[in-house]
Every structure is written in C-alpha cells, then in structure tokens.
Copies of this chain bind each other. A is one copy, B any other.
Amino acid sequence: MAEDQALGAFLDDLASERSTPGGGGAAAISGAMGAALVSMVCNLTIGKPKYAESEAELKEVLAKSEGLRAELTKAIGDDVQAFDAVMGAYGLPKGETEEAKAERTAKIQAALKVATDVPLECARLCAEVVKLSAVTAEKGNVNVVSDAGVAVQSAYAGLLSAALNVRVNAKSIKDRDFAEGRLQELESLLSDAGATTTATYAAVRAKLD
C-alpha cells in the first residue's frame, strides 16, 4: 500500500524515470494533506469553550474530512493501477484479423475510461476538501487559521493536478459523449473551487494581519 511507504522513498520513486508514481499520485497526496489539516484545525477547536457555538458543525466537518482523507490516501495507489492498465492495453499484440484489432482497441478504450474516472474522482474529493477548508478558516480556532489556509491551497493544487490527468486521458477517448460529460463536470468543479480558494486564502490573510 502506498501509505506504508516512507515519505523519502516515495519522493525518490516520484523523481525516478519510471512513469508511476507520477502527477496523479502527487495530486492525491496534496488532497490528503489538505484533508488532514482540516481535521487538525477541527481537533484544535472542538472542546474549547470560546468556539462552543461552532462545535456541532466542526464535528461534522471532522467526520467528513477524515472520510475524505481515507479516500484520498487510497487514491494514491488507484492512479498507478489505472495508468498501468492503459500502458498494458497499448502493449497488447496489434492482431492480424479485424476482430483481433477491434478487441485490442476496445481494451484500450475501456482502460482510458477508467484512467479518466480515477483522477476525476480525485478531483471531486479535492473539491470537497476545499469546501471544508473554507468552513474551518471561518469557524475554526483562530490560532491555527494559517493551517486552514494551507489546507485550501493543498486541496486546490490537488484538484488542478488531477484535472490535467483527466484531460490527458479524456482526449484519446472515442466515445465523445463520455469524455465531454466528464470534462464538463471537471470545469464546474474547477470554477467553484477556484472561487472558494481565492476567497478563503484572502480571509485567512486578513485574520493574520
């Protein structure tokens, strides 16, 4: 499992001439760090009398951020599998008959659809972390508001990164309805999260002045 690997060894693998782990794994880690920092701010707020009014809401945020962190941690490895499946399908013998050729093409196309949906799911999870970061920046312990600001930037970087992997795979998909539907959803996630990130980072900066 990717989460059992030492951080330094993961960075060595990322830097190596092997294609995986690559940007998709880095995107999932950025999202997971964002979720972890949302949880940290909640953990340092819940139980403090000064923030009693927001306690119930931040308990809900914490439950969600811990769920998202688990999913994003799992997503680090999903990306490697999806990439390897595409490479494996392209590596199949090209075939001599029309039937064999069509079968190879179908396998490539099926693998590309999975390799589009895996980073799209990572993008959706990162977009959720962006929303939770905004709540913690507003209602969390002001002594750790900078951590809420780091959370939102990490999660948004994860979303922007996953978006590139969605595009790179969607581009080669022949089923254009499938591809365009995914790209449309992606645009909507990027637009909403971009606005939330800008507003949240500015709010955090204002609290630090």
Contacts and interface: CB of A to CB of B under 8 A. Distances in A.
Contacts of A29: 7, 29, 33
Q: Which of A33, A36, A73 has the most CB of B within 10 A?
A: A33
A17 interface: yes
Interface in A37-56: 37, 39-40, 43-44
Contact of A30 (B14, B33, B39, B73): B33
Copy number in the complex reads: 2
A78 interface: no
29 contacts: A2-B7, A4-B7, A5-B6, A6-B7, A7-B7, A7-B76, A11-B32, A11-B33, A11-B36, A12-B36, A15-B36, A15-B37, A15-B39, A15-B65, A16-B39, A22-B40, A23-B37, A23-B151, A30-B154, A146-B168, A149-B164, A153-B160, A153-B161, A154-B157, A157-B157, A167-B205, A167-B208, A167-B209, A168-B208
